[in-house]
Amino acid sequence: MSPQPEARSITAEPLTEAAFAPFGTVIDTAAVAPRPMNGGMARRFHDLAAIDVVGEGARAVIGLVEAEPYPLPLRLSLVERHPLGAQAFVPLSRAPFLIVVCPDEAGRPGPPQAFVTTRPFQGICYARGTWHGVLTPFGARQDFVVIDRGGRAGDAPGANLEEHTFVQPWTVQLPGTA
């Protein structure tokens, strides 16, 4: 009888600009001073994240994602990355969501790190080529604006999507639930 593999678990930490910097940008109105517009009747929080896209026919596109909640603790078995473009997610509700990222280790994902948003409407922009988990709301369904790369993805279909399945899944939990 072979021994059971040791359980792998991480706990999400609060999302901060400094902690998330190796993986992309935190999208948060606290990061910039608003500009008045429309005769002072509106405020614009400008240039919150750069959507870096490369390749023939590349362009930034905006979409809407309706995401169902995941049960927690999260069983993380799959991560992905997009080598040809950054990818931003901005929630349309005040609810927090879970973010999982992995450092790149010679073309493969390293041990994951997890974050949970700390402010209403706080979003993220994954840097081009960052290993990340799927969009992970918890508690209730959430809608998100997604800004990412459109256009041709290279010579082969799917060239802007790489997936990795962990042989042994990770368990991701929220702070205070370990």
Whether 103 is in a domain gets the answer: yes
Whether 177 is in a domain gets the answer: no
For residue 63, give the CATH number of its domain.
2.60.120.480
pLDDT of residue 4: 66
Whether 31 is in a domain gets the answer: yes
Give the number of other CB atoms < 10 A from CB of residue 43.
13
pLDDT of residue 150: 84
Whether 105 is in a domain gets the answer: yes
**Nearest alpha carbon to residue 87 among 61, 120, 48:** 61
Whether 173 is in a domain gets the answer: no
pLDDT of residue 159: 79
| Mean pLDDT by groups of 10 residues along the chain of 178 residues | 76 96 94 89 89 87 94 96 95 96 97 96 96 96 93 63 94 87
Whether 57 is in a domain gets the answer: yes
How far apart, in Å, are the Cα atoms of 81 and each of 1, 131, 160, 163, 167?
A: 37, 5, 8, 7, 18
Peptide bond into 73 cis (omega under 30): yes
pLDDT of residue 153: 57
In sequence order, what are the residues at sequence separation of 6 or more whose Cβ sits closer than 8 angstroms to the Cβ of residue 107?
none
Whether 134 is in a domain gets the answer: yes
Tell me how many domains the chain contains.
1
Domain limits for position 69: 9-35+44-153
Whether 85 is in a domain gets the answer: yes
pLDDT of residue 102: 98
Q: What gap in Å lies between CA 52 and CA 77, rounded to an integer?
A: 27
pLDDT of residue 57: 81
